Amino acid sequence: MHARIAGVGACLPGSPVGNGDLVRRGVDTTDEWIAARTGIRARHLAGEGDTTSGLAFEASRRALDAAGMAASELDLIVVATTTPDFIFPGTACLLQGRLGNVGAMAFDVQAVCGGFVYALIVAEKFIRSGSHKKALVVGADIVSRILDWRDRATCVLFGDGAGAVVLGAADSPGILSSAAHADGSWHGILAAAGQARGGRIVGDPFVRMDGQAVFKLAVRALSEIASECCESAGIPPSGIDWLIPHQANVRIIESTAKKLGLTMDKVVVTVDHHGNTSAASVPLALDAAIRDGRVRRGQKILLEGVGAGVTWGAVLLEF
């Protein structure tokens, strides 16, 4: 038993918010400063009434439509998120309720920006085991609600959104190999360390980051995990059709591609128009590349993510 992607969907809330819009809102920065250091030109920000489960629902509905599948057919729902609607119940159960599914196993995965890849790996293992046949895997985050808008080193980097894929059991391999790792000794370089205690927030609830440390670790982790995944499948990096990395910073993406010996015409880059959407970034980029015709059936795609924790992982698949 194998797992193949049957459908993909995405959701970006509201209208694009450009770098100039942030300046007009009072952020101490410039369009040139942001674009030169990150490649980001715009991002989408959730409105007051938006929820993570709501964005996940829209992306899931589109993925199910693309797969030609009803929500009632799902027997597994996995949601990767760092910004759940509530402490509990889990966002996956809230999504399940909105979809009208009853009985599917549903749970959240928290691996921050590496979350979608982690969730995809988990779902694929369930299908490979034979215990489940149709899975919905979602990456969804509203990071804007945990940003300090006075901290230009972090607030200009992130956006909100959701992406979803439907996995189905198949006789031939769709996911060819996968790998994932974590190293908790690096937890301090990227964190939102606040917590709810006694009805109040204790600690710093905002995203804080050591930019240089994150950059160096991300490039090393992404290049190494890509090589590991390709080696496991017996395919050199040059043999893949598309690299779809976590969309955090164009310079990280370019450095990773260089280490793998790939030219940028084989790399999907969407960070310029939606920023770092955490767990949503990889499925958002996959959806964009499918819809504009770059990614086609039969091609080999390498998805990879790296996030706070530190977590990192990759999936090599035949679309």
| Known catalytic membership, residue 276 | yes
| Known catalytic membership, residue 274 | no
**173: CB partners within 8 A, 6+ apart:** 2, 4, 318
8 Å CB contact between 95 and 56 = yes
Beta-bridged to residue 306, according to DSSP, are: 312
Q: Which two tokens stand for residue 254?
A: 């370019």
Q: Which two tokens stand for residue 3?
A: 């797992």
Strands 195-197 vs 160-170: parallel, antiparallel or unpaired: unpaired
Cα(68)–Cα(62) distance, integer angstroms = 10
| Known catalytic membership, residue 113 | yes
What is the DSSP code (8-state) at residue 130? T
| Catalytic position from the list 11, 44, 132, 246 | 246
| Catalytic position from the list 11, 113, 229, 230 | 113
**175: CB partners within 8 A, 6+ apart:** 2, 3, 4, 120, 124, 315, 316, 317
Cα(256)–Cα(243) distance, integer angstroms = 10
Angle at 51 between CA 57 and CA 49, to 5 degrees: 120
| Catalytic position from the list 19, 101, 249, 276 | 276
Phi-psi region of 257 (alpha: psi -120 to 50; beta: other; left: phi over 0): alpha
Cα(29)–Cα(47) distance, integer angstroms = 23
How many C-beta atoms surround the C-beta of residue 265 within 10 A? 8
Q: Which residues are catalytic?
A: 113, 246, 276
